[in-house]
Amino acid sequence: MHIHAYEKLWLAASVLLILFLLGSVTYGAVGPGVAMVSDSEPAIDAGALDEDDRFSEPRVEQVGENEYAAYVVARQFGFQPDPIVVPANSTVTFYVTSADVIHGFEVAGTNANTMVVPGEVSEITVETDGPAEYGIVCNEYCGAAHHAMEGKLEVVSQSAYEERASGGDGE
Amino acid sequence: MSEAIEGDRTFADKFPEEARVVRAALLGSFLALTLGAVFGIIQTLHRTGVFRGLISSTDYYTSLTAHGVFLALSFTTFFLVGLFTWAVVRSLDRPVIDIRITWTWYGLMAAGMTMTGISILAGFVNELDMSADVLFTFYAPLQAHPMFYAGLAVFIVGSWIAGADYFRTWLAWKRENPDERIPLQTFMVLTTMAMWYIASSAVAASVLIFLLPWSLGLIDQVNPTLTRTLFWFFGHPVVYFWLMPAYLLWYTVLPKIAGGRLFSDPLARVVFVLFLLLSTPVGIHHQYLDPGIAEGFKFISMTNTMFLLLPSLLTAFTVVASVEYGARQRGGTGLLGWLTDLPWRDPAFTGMMLAGLMFAAGGFSGMVNAGMNINYMIHNTIWVPGHFHLTVGTAVALTFMAATYWLWPQITNKPIYSRAIGLVQVVVWFVGMALMSNAMHAQGILGVPRRTAEPEYSGFDYPTMFGGFEELNIQIAIGGTLLFVSTVLFIGNLVLTMGNPKISGLAEELPPALSGPDDAPRVLDNLRLWVGIAVTLVVLAYALPLAAIINRGGLLGPGVGTFPVWLTPVLDALANGAAAVVGGVVDASASLAEVVG
Amino acid sequence: MGRNETAHASAEDVGGETEEFDPIGTLTLIAIYFAILVVSWVYIYYIEFLGRDLVIVG
Ligand code: HEM
Ligand SMILES: [Cu+2]
Ligand SMILES: [Cu+2]
């Protein structure tokens, strides 16, 4: 089969490009340590979230030294808790599930983004920097008022967080 | 025209029966394009906040479902079956086996799409207890009216019969020409349809085993991850199903219009074989951010996806080289000076070239989509529609429109009403898409979600980069408007063309390739072998993920409800009724209290 | 139109030309495209994506 020399050159360049792309993604995974949402959490009964100790009461909880867990429920058409308040400079793991249909959970303008599927729990861990406020949007169509489905993520200073937590104002 | 010598006879002269089917298919396709463009402009103006007076934000999703289904499924597929019928019959130079079978698949596809279309459009009519606002991906547990799924099933079955029609026609030709290589266009059609059988089997299974019985109430619930995975098993290869007919045109028609010939027939075959092999075992890349699927499966899918770039990168070279050859035949010189020696006044040429240029840009955003972890940045943002309006919305759609300027005269014997309008049309599409798609990509990076009637929120503002949210909205609205204008020009031109008288002398020949099929190893034509490997790859890529999904959630899902969008009007009516009763009681007791007081 | 491609494409028909045509313009264009792809990718992956808030690390 006759292939022109230039085309062979291009073929080689293309393969290099592909390897470069794969290499970048692999670097992202092992260097900065970007991990994918996966099957780390067992399946769950979406119809019985109110009997589940994590999701019957959606909340943020301290689970280790400077480590927090946020148990979030997405349902037509909102997120609980709202706002989600977490301390600055900490490690936060979101466990997000749906009580009804498929939703999205996207902290707008950041890399925190996952599908939310009924019967599954999406687990994503992030490290927060300084205090900041972010919007949360549902980025998967979930029904007639999908566009109204939003929430808030507030990253507050450690002291403000403790104040709010001990103040017990129902976060 | 009957006196015309062989080479001067158009397709319509030689194969009038088939030409009628091709015309019918193309007209069906353009009807879908028209409807889709109307919804396209409505939703563009709505989501950008420029004009929200025409539909409510709830009906936005009816419009979006219609836009997605009519354009992505109906416009593309009807054009494709028409084009393929032309390509098979033309390149084999023999009629289809039995024209009644050809009309049968056309009828089935039309009937199926009509059913689905009615179930969607009924969503605009509140009095009708029917709706399918589930978008063209129909993710369970959102549930459409049963007719939506039934129509899809009929449509797909129709497309299968079309594939069988092409295969049987080819087999008949093969008996007549035992030692010949498969002509290139037929080869492209057959590999595409083989890929389609593999791909569409999954969505057909999803619809027939799960979604249709569920919407009819025969089963209580489905596993949302399973039906979603079966959708994407089909949903990625379907983008190649749209693209491969465009490639067929770029490989076999564009070089001719440029005044040259295809650079390499063997490489074209290799490219189509690669598509057949690699299009399907990649669908999980649409589920990078899905819970319940192991990271390893996602990584494998990414690797396959990245190698699927190869056939497209090769195509870029081969097609441009063929065009360069044409330019040099026309006297073009210099390193890049030959670019000025091309027939830029020909809408068919310019349209396809601009489509190819947009595809190159879409190639970049596609690489980003494919890069597993970078998907966090853009998943389900408006970046994604930005991407596929470059690929299917331009590389495919604009190529189809441009090719129509070349093909239509040959299946009707009528010259195009105005080639000048055609030229304006393709350029306007390009400019409109450049604006709309670019701004969509930029908004996506800001985090603006797709599929959202009012993407501005009460609780926060988007960050500002590459221009703010509002400014980008204006760009999207202007771009969308230009696209709509372009569609109107296209359809208008075509309608006026139909009024033209028939003339002779419109026949076009397609020249053979520079490096012809004799340079291609025989094994390339061994379709059985390639289909076998393709199926093996699919099994390797999907057996474990599907088993894991079923193992986790069960065939029918882990305790998931049913959320019929099509019962909402009934529920609303009930609620209104209840409110009226309650209101009445309240009023009555109030007046009672007054009386008593 | 009509007669299928295979019937045409005998070696004599196209033969010698194949070796003579060097698509140098195409090679140039595609090299430019390659450069754009690499630069854009480096920007979007290493600067835009990895530079954003809330990188998922687990
Ligand atoms: C008149 C030209 C067009 C305009 C103005 C237009 C506009 C749009 C807009 C603004 C969206 C995004 C809506 C959202 O996510 O909220 C969209 C989605 C979409 N468009 Fe287009 N478009 C046009 C042509 C096309 C063409 C030619 C195709 C394909 C052949 C196409 C296929 C799609 C698909 C598949 C979606 C996604 C639907 C979904 O998310 O369910 N569009 N279009
Ligand atoms: Cu939503
Ligand atoms: Cu895909």
HEC string of B407-465 equals HHHHHHCCCCCCHHHHHHHHHHHHHHHHHHHHHHHHHHHHCCECCCCCCCCCCCCCCCC
Mean pLDDT for B235-260 is: 96
CB B75 within 8 A of CB B32: yes
Helices B419-446 + B383-390 axis angle, to 10:
150
Residue nearest to atom 38 of ligand 1 (CA): B68
Which pLDDT belongs to residue A171?
A: 42
Which ligand number lies closest to the CA of residue B242? 1
Which pLDDT belongs to residue B165?
A: 98
Inform me whether the pLDDT recorded for B91 exceeds 70: yes
Catalytic: B46?
no
Domain interval for residue A160 = 46-165
Partners of A154 in beta bridges: A85, A133
Mean pLDDT for B386-411 is: 97
Burial B437-472 (b: 16+ CB within 10 A, else e): bbbbbbbbbbbbbbbbbebbbeebebbeeeeebeeb
Amino acid occupying residue B156 = I
Residue nearest to atom 13 of ligand 1 (CA): B451
Query: How many pairs of residues across A and B have Cβ atoms under 8 Å apart?
Result: 236
CB atoms within 10 A of CB B208: 16
Residues A90 and A153 in one domain: yes
Mean pLDDT for B319-337 is: 94
Cβ of C9 and B513 within 8 Å? yes
Label each residue of B140-180 as H, E or C.
Answer: CCEECCHHHHHHHHHHHHHHHHHHHHHHHHHHHHHHHCCCC
Chains touching chain B, criterion 3+ CB pairs below 8 Å: A, C
Catalytic: B90?
no
Nearest to C54 among A2, A20, A110 (CB): A110
Tell which atom from ligand 1 comes closest to the C-alpha of B44. 10
CA B99 to chain centre: 26
Among candidate residues B271, B282, B289, the one with its CA nearest the CA of residue B306: B282
Which pLDDT belongs to residue B559?
A: 72
Round the average pLDDT of chain A to a whole number and report it. Answer: 94
Taking contacts as CB-CB distances below 8 angstroms, the residues of chain C near A35 are 56-58
Which pLDDT belongs to residue C12?
A: 39
In-domain check, residue A38 = no
For B96-109, the pLDDT digits (tens) are 999 999 999 999 99
Which pLDDT belongs to residue C11?
A: 39
Indicate if the alpha-carbon torsion angle B448, B473, B242, B247 is positive or negative: negative
Nearest to C34 among A17, A32, A134 (CB): A17
Mean pLDDT for A70-91 is: 96
Mean pLDDT for C18-37 is: 89
For B503-523, the pLDDT digits (tens) are 988 998 898 888 888 888 999
Taking contacts as CB-CB distances below 8 angstroms, the residues of chain B near C6 are 180-183, 516-517
CA C10 to chain centre: 28
In-domain check, residue A99 = yes
Tokens standing for residue B532: 């076998």
Which pLDDT belongs to residue B428?
A: 98
Number of domains into which chain B is organized: 1
CATH number for the domain spanning A106: value is 2.60.40.420
Residues A65 and A135 in one domain: yes
For B122-179, the pLDDT digits (tens) are 999 988 888 899 999 999 999 999 999 999 999 999 999 999 999 999 999 999 999 8
Round the average pLDDT of chain B to a whole number and report it. Answer: 92
CATH number for the domain spanning B320: value is 1.20.210.10
* First vs last C-alpha separation in chain A: 69
Calculate the alpha carbon distances from B482 to B356, B435, B444, B491 in Å: 19, 9, 21, 14
In-domain check, residue A115 = yes
Which pLDDT belongs to residue B209?
A: 96
Which pLDDT belongs to residue B35?
A: 98
Which residue do the tokens 């230009």 mark?
Answer: B482
Which pLDDT belongs to residue C13?
A: 42
Tell which atom from ligand 1 comes closest to the C-alpha of B486. 1
Residues A17 and A77 in one domain: no
What does the alpha-carbon distance between residue B469 and residue B463 come to, in Å, rounded to a whole number? Answer: 8
Domain interval for residue B202 = 2-596
Rounded to the nearest angstrom, the distance between the alpha carbon of B487 and the centre of ligand 1 is: 13
Catalytic: B376?
no
Which pLDDT belongs to residue B580?
A: 53
Residues A159 and A133 in one domain: yes
pLDDT band at residue B4 using 50, 70 and 90 as cut-offs: very low
Which pLDDT belongs to residue C15?
A: 42
Residues A80 and A133 in one domain: yes
- Ligand 1 lined by B477 (C-beta under 6 Å): no
Give me the long-range contacts of B458-466 (CB less than 8 A, separation at least 24).
B458/A150, B459/A135, B459/A150, B459/A151, B459/A152, B460/A108, B460/A133, B460/A134, B460/A135, B460/A150, B460/A152, B461/A135, B462/A108, B462/A109, B462/A135, B463/A108, B463/A109, B466/B442
pLDDT band at residue B573 using 50, 70 and 90 as cut-offs: low
What does the alpha-carbon distance between residue B409 and residue B493 come to, in Å, rounded to a whole number? Answer: 13
Calculate the alpha carbon distances from A97 to A43, A112, A116, C51 in Å: 10, 15, 6, 28
Rounded to the nearest angstrom, the distance between the alpha carbon of B526 and the centre of ligand 3 is: 27
Q: Which of B236, B261, B286, B441 is catalytic?
A: B236
Catalytic: B236?
yes
Rounded to the nearest angstrom, the distance between the alpha carbon of B49 and the centre of ligand 1 is: 16
For A150-162, the pLDDT digits (tens) are 999 999 999 999 9
Which pLDDT belongs to residue A164?
A: 85
User: Shortest Cα distance from B292 to chain C (angstroms)?
Assistant: 15
Which pLDDT belongs to residue B146?
A: 96
Inform me whether the pLDDT recorded for B363 exceeds 50: yes
In-domain check, residue A132 = yes
Nearest to C23 among A6, A35, A124 (CB): A6
Residue to mutate (ligand 1; options B67, B70, B139, B431; most atoms within 8 A of CB): B67
Catalytic: B94?
no
Residues A90 and A152 in one domain: yes
pTM higher than 0.90 for the full model? yes
pLDDT band at residue B591 using 50, 70 and 90 as cut-offs: low
Q: Going by DSSP bridges, is the β-strand pair A103-107/A113-116 parallel, antiparallel, or unpaired?
A: antiparallel
User: Shortest Cα distance from C43 to chain A (angstroms)?
Assistant: 12
- Ligand 1 lined by B37 (C-beta under 6 Å): yes
Which pLDDT belongs to residue B578?
A: 54
Residues A70 and A3 in one domain: no
Residues A23 and A62 in one domain: no
Which pLDDT belongs to residue A12?
A: 97
Which residue do the tokens 């959490």 mark?
Answer: A41
CB B68 within 8 A of CB B62: no
Which pLDDT belongs to residue B128?
A: 82
Helices B397-412 + B347-370 axis angle, to 10:
150
In-domain check, residue A171 = no
Number of domains into which chain A is organized: 2
pLDDT band at residue C17 using 50, 70 and 90 as cut-offs: very low
Partners of A85 in beta bridges: A154
- Which of B253-267, B483-497, B524-538, B562-576 has the least mean pLDDT? B562-576
In-domain check, residue A109 = yes
Contacts of B250 (CB under 8 A, 6+ apart): B315, B319, B352, B356, B399
Inform me whether the pLDDT recorded for B377 exceeds 50: yes
Interface predicted TM-score (ipTM) of this complex, two decimals: 0.95
Catalytic: B240?
yes
Residues A95 and A153 in one domain: yes
Which pLDDT belongs to residue B1?
A: 37
Q: What is the CB-side half-sphere exposure of residue A135 using CA atoms within 13 A?
A: 21
Residues A117 and A142 in one domain: yes
Mutate: best of B302, B317, B406, partner C, most C CBs <10 A: B317
Inform me whether the pLDDT recorded for B465 exceeds 90: no
Tokens standing for residue C49: 């994506």
